[in-house]
């Protein structure tokens, strides 16, 4: 009796996938978007906003697309969430569609931003480049955004005036744009932005690792990072050192191990709840762990020589190794929010086991033509739940015993 509805659901989902990839995605990427992928992103956000603002349509999305299973319920910071899969910062920079992503599509966390104190247009367009042969992207956005005043107004409207309920966690990513670094006020502007946005979002992420804004990566230098962490500490901890609000710091995959280890210690000493890894990479070759020889990160692609940070599948292996390093360096004392190359349930599984992650975020795979679908989170979470049951796991808490270990993804 149960097989017919399940089969009907599978057929419906397959129809959604087909429609999205044959009609919706081509519509998003037509015309001007062929020259500038950011146009496609803008069209997608506009469509998501429309759904979010129409209750009947939004209700239909909420009933069909999220995958709900008690085995996936977990905790980030001290907040309970329905599942460990999120959307990374960079997709919804200005808090326009977080409710659609969380409640409508079923992501357990959505990171908005990075939000900066100063409104800034970012680097010259085009600044997003497709890597179709590598399942990746190159971007050199440079923190374009509406600034804290506009984002605050939008969140007040969403969270207070409209009273939008949230089962997902809204993270806010905080950063500083080029005008702040040019004026020599970067640390002060991080503090000002964090203070203004403090009551919004259930947790904050401090982005100190964007490769596309001059000066940002310098914040990872241990002495400079210590100044930043000490400046922000009073906002996020009580006098006795206990957290007032979950705080994560986001680091680069290109940071040397000794600096990463020192920064992690500084973050823990100054009240951080977690570490986010990783941002995009500008390194075009990585060392093969078996042969110790350098190999090219990117294969043939027309845009492979564009400047900017690489995301998606080319970053997967490197991001996983950095996550594992953070787990070992911290001794499991902080939660890890892992991003970089997350495309399948197996990627999530590896992040939660060998990478020691608490939660996992995706972005590039969510927008790539061969993997993009409103069912994206549903499929990954369904397969993750099946994998957990194949190991006779009862809850997400069972991953604690597997953290830092290579555990094969089961055949499901």
CA distance 199 to 236: 11
SS3 70: helix
pLDDT at position 7 is 77
User: Which stretches of 73-214 are assigned E, i.e. beta strand?
Assistant: 74-76, 79-81, 85-87, 109-116, 128-131, 136-139, 169-175, 203-207
Domain-located, residue 345: yes
356: alpha, beta or left, given left = phi > 0 and alpha = psi -120 to 50? Answer: left
| 8 Å CB contact between 168 and 178 | no
Q: Per-block average pLDDT, block size 10, for the chain (412 residues)?
A: 62 94 94 93 96 94 96 94 97 95 96 94 94 94 95 83 70 94 94 95 95 89 96 92 92 95 96 96 79 81 92 95 96 95 97 98 93 96 97 96 96 82
Domain-located, residue 204: yes
378: alpha, beta or left, given left = phi > 0 and alpha = psi -120 to 50? Answer: alpha
Q: In what order do the strands lie in the sheet with 136-139?
A: 128-131, 136-139, 309-312
CATH number for the domain harbouring residue 308: 3.20.20.70
DSSP bridge partners of 296: 285
pLDDT at position 4 is 45
CA distance 242 to 253: 29
Q: Tokens for 124?
A: 């010259």
Residues 6+ apart with CB under 8 A from 133: 299, 300, 301
Domain-located, residue 227: yes
Domain-located, residue 388: yes
| 8 Å CB contact between 345 and 380 | yes
Domain-located, residue 409: no
CA distance 16 to 44: 16
Identify the domain containing residue 196 by its residue range.
3-402
Domain-located, residue 325: yes
Continuous H helices in 183-315:
186-196, 222-236, 257-269
Q: Is 276 a catalytic residue?
A: no
SS3 181: helix
Domain-located, residue 407: no
Burial readout 172-186 (b: 16 or more C-beta within 10 A, e: otherwise): bbbbbbbbbbeeebb
pLDDT at position 239 is 83
Alpha-carbon torsion (364, 176, 200, 163), positive or negative: negative
Number of domains, the chain:
1
CA distance 313 to 298: 10
CA distance 265 to 251: 13
Domain-located, residue 408: no
Note the pTM of the prediction, 2 decimals: 0.93
Nearest to 113 by CA among 139, 134, 94, 132: 94
Continuous H helices in 129-196:
148-156, 178-182, 186-196
**SS3 per-residue string spanning 326-344:** HHHHHCCCCEEEEECCCCC
Which of 210, 323, 372, 403 is labelled catalytic? 210
């Amino acid at each position: 009796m149960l097989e017919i509805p399940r089969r009907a659901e599978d057929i419906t989902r397959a129809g959604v996938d087909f429609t999205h990839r044959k009609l919706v995605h081509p519509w998003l990427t037509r015309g001007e978007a062929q020259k500038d992928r950011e146009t496609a992103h803008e069209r997608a956000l506009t469509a998501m906003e429309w759904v979010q603002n129409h209750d009947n349509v939004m209700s239909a999305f909420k009933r069909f697309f999220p995958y709900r299973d008690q085995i996936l319920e977990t905790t980030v910071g001290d907040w309970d969430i329905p599942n460990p899969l999120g959307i990374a910062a960079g997709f919804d920079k200005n808090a326009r569609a977080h409710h659609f992503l969380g409640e409508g599509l079923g992501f357990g966390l959505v990171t908005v931003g990075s939000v900066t104190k100063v409104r800034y247009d970012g680097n010259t367009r085009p600044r997003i480049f497709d890597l179709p042969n590598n399942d990746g992207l190159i971007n050199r956005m440079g923190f374009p955004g509406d600034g804290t005043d506009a984002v605050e107004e939008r969140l007040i409207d969403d969270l207070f005036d409209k009273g939008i309920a949230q089962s997902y966690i809204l993270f806010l990513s905080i950063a500083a744009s080029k005008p702040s670094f040019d004026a020599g006020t970067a640390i002060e502007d991080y503090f000002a932005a964090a203070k203004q946005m403090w009551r919004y979002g259930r947790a904050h992420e401090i982005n100190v690792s964007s490769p596309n804004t001059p000066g940002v990566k310098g914040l990872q230098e241990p002495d400079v990072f210590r100044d930043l962490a000490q400046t922000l500490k009073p906002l996020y901890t009580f006098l006795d050192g206990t957290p007032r609000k979950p705080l994560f710091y986001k680091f680069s995959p290109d940071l040397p191990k000794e600096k990463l280890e020192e920064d992690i210690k500084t973050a823990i000493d100054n009240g951080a709840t977690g570490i986010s890894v990783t941002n995009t990479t500008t390194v075009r070759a990585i060392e093969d762990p078996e042969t110790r020889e350098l190999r090219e990160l990117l294969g043939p692609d027309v845009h492979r020589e564009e400047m900017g940070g690489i995301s998606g599948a080319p970053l997967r292996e490197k991001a996983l190794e950095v996550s594992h390093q953070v787990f070992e360096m911290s001794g499991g004392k902080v939660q890890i929010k892992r991003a970089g190359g997350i495309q399948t349930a197996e990627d999530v599984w590896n992040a939660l086991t060998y990478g020691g992650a608490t939660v996992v975020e995706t972005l590039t795979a969510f927008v790539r033509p061969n993997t993009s679908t409103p069912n994206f989170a549903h499929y990954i979470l369904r397969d993750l739940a099946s994998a957990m049951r194949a190991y006779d796991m009862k809850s997400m808490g069972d991953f604690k015993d597997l953290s830092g270990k290579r555990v094969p993804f089961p055949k499901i």
